């Protein structure tokens, strides 16, 4: 699997007239890109991919792990700071164009990188080239084994939500809901949560990314639950809005608008659309119902090794949707002093259309 990924990266390097890509870890998303290309899951390492070599440099803590996991890479036993060992790793790249991930290296990290290169004789120094989304562009289309991994995480998340939604009652705190979800995930094979669980009861749910409190949930209010699972490096993301007791007319109205927007976007999104066009499928439904200003975030985002990946599904996104992309569809309406409703599923583009991967139950307010 990693062999094919490295080859695809080399083809991309050729396309951009680059000779190598240097992935600096542990900066932001770089550990994820490094894992994608090498298979190494440790927390500290550096990856250099050239036209004919792939070098994983890591310290004493990870030498054995790297040798076991990064089977397509030459493991370099790094000792000391980058300026001490990097010149050796860069041997043979004098005058070559070596790319680095501009979005994932700090100012201090860039200074250290340049200093390490200055330790080489002038004729042996590579030329640094800033790039963005070099690896992310490869990750955006999922391979079958990735899709299976994402589905496994989603299945645990669906079950965790259903278990807790069937048991929650007035008096539970938002923190208790979040903990019961995390406990279920860990007790049923998940590695953990993919992001801090969001639980918002009543008016608190008007904040799209609210955090769980010691607030005791009350009968007669809606509750937004946004949660995710991590399993074998891949993640899920799920949002449902439930109601304690019999939903009132206001809740039914808002919920049905959001549900209609989500179902419309899921049914009509197709290959070739931009993220903006996909977003507007749902935004139009909500806007025509009079709540356009209350849906202020994007319709969705890609996910895989991270909760937020390409493509972006939002008003300003020009990302083109293609088969193999996995992303969320999650419209919402948020009303100050009342609360919010958000419904989110993960879908994969197949044969030009969206296939829903998450199957946790949704409310049927018409029957409530």
Q: What is the mean pLDDT of the chain?
A: 95
Decide whether 2-139 matches 144-356 in CATH topology: no
Phi/psi at 33 (5° precision): -65, -40
Tracing tokens 């009342």 back to the chain, one arrives at: 338
pLDDT of residue 25: 67
User: What's domain 2-139's superfamily in CATH?
Assistant: Creatinase/prolidase N-terminal domain (3.40.350.10)
Average pLDDT estimate for 173-185: 98
DSSP strand E in the chain: where? 20-23, 46-50, 54-58, 74-77, 97-101, 127-131, 192-193, 198-201, 222-227, 229-231, 234-235, 238-243, 300-302, 309-313, 326-329, 332-335, 339-342, 345-350, 353-356
Q: Is pLDDT of 364 > 80?
A: no
Q: Write down the CATH number for the domain with range 144-356.
A: 3.90.230.10
Give me the residue spans of the domains in the chain: 2-139, 144-356
Average pLDDT estimate for 327-337: 98
Phi/psi at 57 (5° precision): -100, 125
Q: Which two tokens stand for residue 248?
A: 């009132």
Q: Is the link from the previous residue into 311 a cis peptide, with omega within 30 of 0?
A: yes
Average pLDDT estimate for 142-151: 97
Q: Which two tokens stand for residue 229?
A: 């699972």
Q: What DSSP element (H or E) covers 159?
A: helix 144-167
Tracing tokens 């769980």 back to the chain, one arrives at: 212
Q: Is pLDDT of 105 > 90?
A: no
Question: Which pLDDT tens digit goes with each residue over 251-281?
Answer: 999 999 999 999 999 999 999 999 999 999 9
Question: Which pLDDT tens digit goes with each residue over 9-49?
Answer: 999 999 999 999 999 865 455 689 999 999 999 988 999 99
> pTM for this one?
0.93
pLDDT of residue 258: 98
Q: What DSSP element (H or E) covers 107?
A: helix 107-118
């Amino acid at each position: 699997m990693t062999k094919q990924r490295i080859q695809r990266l080399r083809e991309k390097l050729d396309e951009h007239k680059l000779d190598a890509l240097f992935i600096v870890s542990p900066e932001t998303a770089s550990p994820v890109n490094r894992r994608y290309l090498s298979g190494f899951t440790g927390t500290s390492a550096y990856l250099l991919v050239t036209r004919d070599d792939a070098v994983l440099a890591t310290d004493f803590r990870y030498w054995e792990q790297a040798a076991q996991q990064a089977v397509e890479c030459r493991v370099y036993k790094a000792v000391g700071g980058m300026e001490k060992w990097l010149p050796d790793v860069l041997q043979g790249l004098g005058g070559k164009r070596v790319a680095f991930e501009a979005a994932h290296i700090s100012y201090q990290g860039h200074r250290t990188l340049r200093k390490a290169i200055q330790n080489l004789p002038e004729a042996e120094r590579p030329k640094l080239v800033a790039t963005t989304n070099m690896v992310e562009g490869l990750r955006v289309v999922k391979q079958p084994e990735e899709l299976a991994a994402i589905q496994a995480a989603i299945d645990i998340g669906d079950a965790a939500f259903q278990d807790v939604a069937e048991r929650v009652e007035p008096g539970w705190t938002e923190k208790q809901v979040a903990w019961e979800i995390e406990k279920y995930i860990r007790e049923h094979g998940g590695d953990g949560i993919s992001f801090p669980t969001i639980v918002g009861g009543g008016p608190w749910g008007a904040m799209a990314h609210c955090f769980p409190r010691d607030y005791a949930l009350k009968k007669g209010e809606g509750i937004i639950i946004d949660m995710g699972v991590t399993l074998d490096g891949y993640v899920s993301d799920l949002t449902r809005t439930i109601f304690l007791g019999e939903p009132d007319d206001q809740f039914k109205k808002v919920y049905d608008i959001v549900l209609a927007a989500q179902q419309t976007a899921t049914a009509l999104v197709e290959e070739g659309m931009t993220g903006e066009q996909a977003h507007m499928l749902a935004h139009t439904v909500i806007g025509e119902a009079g709540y356009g200003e209350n849906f202020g975030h994007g319709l969705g985002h890609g996910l895989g090794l991270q909760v937020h990946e390409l493509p972006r599904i939002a008003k300003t996104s020009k990302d083109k949707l293609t088969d193999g992309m996995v992303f969320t569809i999650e419209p919402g309406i948020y009303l100050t002093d009342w609360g919010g409703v958000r419904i989110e599923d993960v879908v994969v583009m197949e044969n030009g259309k969206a296939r829903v991967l998450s199957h946790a139950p949704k409310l049927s307010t018409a029957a409530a």
